Amino acid sequence: MEPRDLSAHTVYRAGRGIEEVARELGLNPDDMVKLASNENMYGPSPKAVEAIRGAAERMHSYPKASHADLVDELAALWDVTPEQVWLSNGGDGALDCLARAMLDPGQDVLVPSPGFAYYAMSARYHHGEVNEYTLSKADDFAQTADTVLKDYDGERIVYLTSPHNPTGAEFTTDAVRTIAEETDEQTLVVVDEAYGEFSERPGKRSLLDDRDDVALLRTFSKAYGLAGVRLGYAVVPEDWADAYARINTPFSASELACRSGLAALDDDEHVERSVETAAWAREYISAELDAPTWDSAGNFILAEVGDASAVADAAQERGVIIRDCSSFGLPECIRITCGTREDTEHAVSVLNEVIEVVEA
């Protein structure tokens, strides 16, 4: 037998882990710096670590109370009803929930190029077809209403990323409003704010007050440092928020995830420190790296280095893992995650050596 026709499906290629690379290169993992997956430079919120330890004894139970408690807390934070918070297995899971709730087989979605690969993957899993809008490098990857609307052709879901991965560019709230206004009544505009905490601009929450066609996505993977537990959520308009109960997998956010999420929400110090260090690292990298960079509102910076694959390979041999952006369609660019001061300074100095050697 065979699976259904998966020829249009692509494989998600995650950034490689320190252990994997260290083993391959015969290096000591403790001597390596990984700035490739936009993870938190300080690791998880310490309060979340404590909560997971405390929850270990309860792992035999399904996550009911913890799920409800976390939803209530997030609803209060966003000033929405609990039904409007769609908790999920990472931000990726929230994308799946939205696709499952919205897409009939054969309907189209519109995704950014370059952009986060999982929008298209999720849509295809849900029998959708994928079209793209282009962020132009010549235009510094500007994200305006026109960037999207020029390529819009009645798609059911339009995905916006703000701050955008991998460029760091943002949409203004007005631009998102214009996109929602100019697209069809039955088009959902998903604003992926996975990196929202790192931005200095206001989030897009206000749009939910007067629109039923904008949903937001957030994750605990970045500013809260919980990528390993897989916890994210969508905040959706009240009108159709009850769809979650019909499409959600049972217990999609685990007991450990919910408990750690609750604790992380209570750890302002960890988030503030992470956001401040990211702001410092963005400035440092753009000032000190011997390559052009783009302004970023996320916890990463895109840089143009010529041959990204050669630079990434050479940096890796010297113990620094960054992201070669060839898979984003940018073979001349690398993306560097903001690290601690020490890791960022070390990475920039290694990258500068490598850029010089590769250019020569």
Ligand X SMILES: Cc1ncc(COP(=O)(O)O)c(C=O)c1O
Q: Report in angstroms how near the CB of residue 89 gets to ligand X at its nearest.
A: 8
Q: Which residue is nearest to ligand X (CB)?
A: 90
Q: Considering beta carbons, is residue 169 or 314 the nearer one to ligand X?
A: 169
Choosing from 45, 112, 116, 301, the residue that interacts with ligand X (CB under 6 A) is 116
Other beta carbons less than 10 A from residue 43's beta carbon: 15
Q: Report in angstroms how near the CB of residue 129 gets to ligand X at its nearest.
A: 21
Q: If we measure between CA atoms, which residue out of 164, 177, 178 comes closest to residue 330? A: 164
Q: Which two tokens stand for residue 144?
A: 């305006």
Q: Which helix (H) or strand (E) holds 130?
A: strand 129-134
Helix, strand or coil for residue 88?
A: strand
Q: Tell me the C-alpha to C-alpha distance, in Å, between residue 187 and each of 103, 119, 213.
A: 10, 15, 7
Distance (Å, rounded) from C-alpha 217 to C-alpha 225?
A: 16
Site string for ligand X, 56-95 (x = CB under 6 A): ----------------------------------xxx---
Give the number of residues in contact with ligand X, rule: CB under 6 A.
13
Q: Report in angstroms how near the CB of residue 147 gets to ligand X at its nearest.
A: 16
Q: Is the CB of residue 190 less than 8 Å from the CB of residue 184?
A: no
Q: Report in angstroms how near the CB of residue 357 gets to ligand X at its nearest.
A: 30
Site string for ligand X, 243-282 (x = CB under 6 A): ----------------------------------------
Q: Considering beta carbons, is residue 192 or 255 the nearer one to ligand X?
A: 192
Q: Considering beta carbons, is residue 143 or 165 the nearer one to ligand X?
A: 165
Site for ligand X in 162-181 (CB under 6 A): 165
Choosing from 44, 128, 225, 232, the residue that interacts with ligand X (CB under 6 A) is 232
Site for ligand X in 18-47 (CB under 6 A): 38
Q: If we measure between CA atoms, which residue out of 243, 205, 224 comes closest to residue 38? A: 224
Q: Considering beta carbons, is residue 36 or 303 the nearer one to ligand X?
A: 36
Q: If we measure between CA atoms, which residue out of 203, 225, 233, 255 comes closest to residue 90? A: 233
Distance (Å, rounded) from C-alpha 68 to C-alpha 258?
A: 9
The amino acid occupying position 33 is V
Choosing from 22, 223, 227, 241, the residue that interacts with ligand X (CB under 6 A) is 227
Choosing from 122, 221, 293, 344, the residue that interacts with ligand X (CB under 6 A) is 221
Phi, psi for residue 336 in degrees, rounded to 5? -110, 120
Distance (Å, rounded) from C-alpha 250 to C-alpha 266?
A: 26
Q: Report in angstroms how near the CB of residue 91 gets to ligand X at its nearest.
A: 3
Distance (Å, rounded) from C-alpha 257 to C-alpha 229?
A: 5
Site string for ligand X, 120-159 (x = CB under 6 A): ----------------------------------------
Distance (Å, rounded) from C-alpha 295 to C-alpha 315?
A: 23
Per CB under 6 A, does 219 bind ligand X? yes
Q: Which two tokens stand for residue 2?
A: 């065979």
Q: Considering beta carbons, is residue 38 or 316 the nearer one to ligand X?
A: 38
Q: Which two tokens stand for residue 266?
A: 């209570």
Stretch that binds ligand X, among 62-70, 73-81, 135-143, 219-227 (CB under 6 A): 219-227
Distance (Å, rounded) from C-alpha 151 to C-alpha 24?
A: 43
Chain residues binding ligand X by CB under 6 A are: 38, 90-92, 116, 161, 165, 192, 194, 219, 221, 227, 232
